[in-house]
């Protein structure tokens, strides 16, 4: 019987055998979520939806980084 809460099948079906949390726990929230959706997209029902979710988190990260850069540049003035 599968443990659908802690270890659903798509958590470690990647050919590497690595569970994505082993990677993403070392990243910030947005990048970790993007990687999670990318690593699992081939093993779930809707690949396009998962890739769109990854893009959502990447876009959020880009916006945050742009805001940080703008603040840094303004502080230098």
- Please tell me the pTM assigned to this model: 0.80
Distance CA 59, CA 1 (A): 38
- Partners of residue 7 on adjacent β-strands: 3
One digit per residue, pLDDT tens: the chain, 77 residues? 677 777 777 777 788 888 888 999 999 999 999 999 999 899 888 999 999 999 999 999 999 999 999 998 888 87
Judge contact between 13 and 27, C-beta under 8 A. no
Query: What ranges do the domains of the chain cover?
Result: 9-76
Q: Is the dihedral of CA 22, 26, 28, 30 positive or negative?
A: negative
Distance CA 29, CA 32 (A): 5
Residue 33: CB atoms within 10 Å: 19
């Amino acid at each position: 019987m599968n443990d659908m809460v802690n270890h659903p099948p798509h958590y470690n079906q990647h050919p590497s055998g690595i569970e994505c949390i082993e990677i993403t726990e070392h990243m910030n929230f947005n990048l970790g979520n993007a990687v999670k959706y990318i690593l699992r997209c081939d093993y779930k029902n809707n690949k396009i939806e998962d890739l769109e979710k990854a893009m959502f988190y990447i876009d959020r990260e880009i916006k945050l980084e742009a805001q940080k850069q703008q603040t840094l540049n303004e502080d230098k003035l």
